[in-house]
Structure 1
Amino acid sequence: MFKKPLAVAAIALLAGAAQAGNPLFKDKFTADPAALSDNGRVYLYVGRDEAPVDGKDYVMKEWLVYSSCDMKNWKAHGSPLNALTFGWAKKDAWAADITKRNGKYYFYSTVEHNSIPGKAIGVAVSDSPTGPFKDARGSAIITNDMTRETDISWDDIDPTVFIDDNGQAYLYWGNQVLKYIKLKPNMIEADGPIHTVAVPHFTEAAYLHKRKDTYYLSWSREFPEETAYSTGPSATGPWTYRGVIMSKNAVVKTIHHAIIEHNGKSYIFYHNDKLPTGGEYRRSAAVEELHYNPDGTIRFIPQTAEGPAANASPGCQD
């Protein structure tokens, strides 16, 4: 009669231990991570994959947000917004990125436009990192008819936002062709024309960050994708290619990443296919610590089941 309680306890113990490793979330399929370190806490935003086991396409209706004080234990905060938060959109809560400016949180996201064919980029705003977010401008900031470099309908996806030390903000995005604009201080309008950037074998999922005096532009290259990066002296280059820092996944062809610094350490979030029944349209968010070499280059990053060691923020409480 003691077998059943002991089995239940063992399962609970294993579930608790698993929660501290990769993939980060065991009860849902999550993809395209975007991350923000804010006031001692890390916030992680993911698209929710809802495709069935035998699905043949992405089913993504909403974004989810989680937070952590120690990079090990994650608290779920539900859905801060969905694709229809944008009244001009009709579906597809695809990849996004977030930043904070003047006490407000700006969330740049990929959706399908309801009247202009193709993917578009919207921006939502909130007074809280956990939302709720609302459409910041009532229209897309980027639509498919604004870019003519390719004839595909999904070349305007995967936004990443970066605010430089002088206050100038940039929005990078693209599939097959990498593009960027400067943003006005209000964070919801372009300040000047769309520019294109040539980096080797660019596929999608650009990310821009800075460490010390060096700017790092990373992206998913080729297909199936691996993560590569370049360095430069400014937020717009010129860019020097440095190589691959994360290998392609075994099953899922994408690997979309985000890089943050938190509590004195650097981290890279990405997605893989490691949950049971995971795959191309059922992905799982994960995280690793990212290390720099003495010359500022990034060390190659293996994917692990353990993830990074705990890194608790003083005063942060769940």
Structure 2
Amino acid sequence: MSKYLLTALAALSALILLPTVIAAQNPLITDQYTADPSARVFNGRVYIYPSHDIKAQPGKGRPGWFCMEDYHVFSSADMTQWTDHGVILNQTQVPWADPAGYAMWAPDCVARNGKYYFYFPATVKGDGPRKGFGIGVAVADQPYGPFKPQAEAIKGVHGIDPNVFIDKDGQAYLYWSQGNIYGAKLKENMLELDSEPKILSALPEKGLKEGPYLFERKGVYYMTYPHVENKIERLEYATATDPLGPFTIKGVIMDESPNGCWTVHHSIILLKDQWYLFYHDKDLSPNFDKNRSIRADSLFFNADGTIRKVTPTLRGVGITQASAHIQLDRYSAISPQGTNVQFIDTADRFKGWKVAFDQKGAWVRYNKVDLSKTPSSAKLTINAIAADGAVISIYADKPIGQPIARVKLSGSSNWKVREHALTKKLKGVHDLFVMSDTGTPVQIDWISFK
């Protein structure tokens, strides 16, 4: 093979965008801003279709407001390792949409008859009778695309936040919001309405409500939606015996964000007998809530079918493999004193967080780490900054008895990766307790067992 052909092949390979694998807790995605997660289960794998927040720039979006030009899709087999399949649709690819609208807001995706139907809002280009938001459909043969958008938006639909529900009898429904929450039947082709739009009744009349998401459980239809009862959105729900209502308001799924994020948009799925709530907050952009980050937490029902209120966590869901980077700053519990979480670099928050210890006995607990595949020769790897003499102990399940490892850290003012022998071999899934033995200051980015 000639050197010229080799050079050409190398250049071609550089153009091929391979999926990116991300290991994360909450937020699920840490290398970009994501919001409005629509989660779906296709062939046993979870796919998330979020909107993609970016920062507005001169001539690119409205400063100080939501700015979104495209969509990614992420997938996972274990709810812990997430694959970014890249951009599946850009505003410039949609024939009917304003190519400079930067309003590709909350989407949804469903599977039917071997096809995947991706529903998305966008501003309609031009000044015609349909000026404002329309909802379009893009179709693909695989859940990660490539998606081909239809030439026109769905007729009779004006609004945002599409959600599609397919009932047990095969009838599909489209829901959306525009001041009220609307619903209508879809035709078999999934591209056209099969009934007149209907305002869903008996939902809150005061305060913004948007982002409808409907699911069914034990013959009951749950309409879930963000609603501004006070100053910012919280998640609420209502139930009915028919997909188009009338609905009865039942209560709150999740209270307003303790971080003050003005919006919350969500989806709810069932996977292997466990229900999960996907939503967003402003983890990676604490001072600007138009750059958001998606999260997931477990959701449970009471015996009477009501939903237990969800408390947001940093740990999130899924089992973390011991060989992965275990981000202790995404803790399950933390000592009340001597431990705090900070950004590694406030100038680049995509680098994530660190956990800092500065008192003897300070600790964090990180739940559900799978040590089953840890080889007998495995060592603890830790990325840390430490004052000389800092000692950290790592315990399984409870901070008593013999630790898995006791690590004396040499002083370093920069991040340093160190390996240490284990004092105790374990198998199975365990919670980890990481504790400061001396109180000498130490900062930890991650730990791993390899």
Both structures adopt the same fold (TM-score exceeding 0.5): yes
C-alpha distance in structure 1 between counterparts of 2:138 and 2:94, whole Å = 8
Equivalent residue runs for 1:259-298 within 5 Å: 259-277=268-286, 279-298=288-307
Show structure 1 runs of 5+ residues with no match: 1-17, 148-155, 313-318
Match of 1:253 in 2: 262
Match of 2:77 in 1: 69
Equivalent residue runs for 1:201-212 within 5 Å: 201=206, 203-212=209-218
Q: Say if 2:27 and 2:294, in contact at 8 Å, map to a contact too.
A: yes
1:132 is the counterpart of 2:150 = no
Match of 1:169 in 2: 172
Q: Say if 1:273 and 1:283, in contact at 8 Å, map to a contact too.
A: yes
Q: Say if 2:235 and 2:254, in contact at 8 Å, map to a contact too.
A: yes
AA aligned opposite 1:113: V
- Specify the SS of the correspondent of 1:204: coil
Aligned match for 1:160, one of 159, 163, 177: 163
Equivalent residue runs for 1:1-318 within 5 Å: 19-51=23-55, 55-90=63-98, 91=101, 92-115=103-126, 116-136=130-150, 138-142=151-155, 156-198=159-201, 199-200=203-204, 201=206, 203-222=209-228, 223-249=231-257, 250-277=259-286, 279-310=288-319
C-alpha distance in structure 2 between counterparts of 1:278 and 1:205, whole Å = 23
Distance apart, 1:277 and its partner CA: 4.8
AA aligned opposite 1:189: E
Q: Say if 1:207 and 1:218, in contact at 8 Å, map to a contact too.
A: yes
- Specify the SS of the correspondent of 2:41: strand
Distance apart, 1:276 and its partner CA: 4.4
**Larger relative contact order (Cα-Cα within 8 Å, sequence gap ≥ 6):** 1
Residue identity (%): 40
Q: Say if 2:220 and 2:239, in contact at 8 Å, map to a contact too.
A: yes
The structure number with the bigger radius of gyration is 2
Distance apart, 1:19 and its partner CA: 3.6
Show structure 2 runs of 5+ residues with no match: 1-21, 322-450
- Provide runs of 4+ in structure 1 moved above 6 Å: none
Q: Say if 1:176 and 1:204, in contact at 8 Å, map to a contact too.
A: yes
Distance apart, 1:58 and its partner CA: 1.4
C-alpha distance in structure 1 between counterparts of 2:194 and 2:137, whole Å = 15
Q: Say if 1:278 and 1:284, in contact at 8 Å, map to a contact too.
A: no
Deviations 1:273-316 (A, max 9, x none): 1114563211001011111111111100011100023399xxxx
Deviations 1:167-191 (A, max 9, x none): 1100010132111111000000110
Q: TM-score, normalised by structure 1?
A: 0.85
Match of 2:411 in 1: none
Deviations 1:103-154 (A, max 9, x none): 1001110101002321110011100000111113x101056xx66xxxxxxx
Matched residues, number: 284
- Specify the SS of the correspondent of 1:220: strand
C-alpha distance in structure 2 between counterparts of 1:165 and 1:278, whole Å = 44
Q: Say if 1:122 and 1:142, in contact at 8 Å, map to a contact too.
A: no
C-alpha distance in structure 2 between counterparts of 1:261 and 1:311, whole Å = 20
Q: TM-score, normalised by structure 2?
A: 0.60
Q: Say if 1:207 and 1:217, in contact at 8 Å, map to a contact too.
A: yes
Deviations 1:196-245 (A, max 9, x none): 11301451000000112111000011151000001111111221111111
**More displaced stretch, 270-279 vs 236-245:** 270-279
C-alpha distance in structure 2 between counterparts of 1:195 and 1:311, whole Å = 44
Q: Say if 2:74 and 2:82, in contact at 8 Å, map to a contact too.
A: yes
Match of 2:418 in 1: none
Match of 2:445 in 1: none
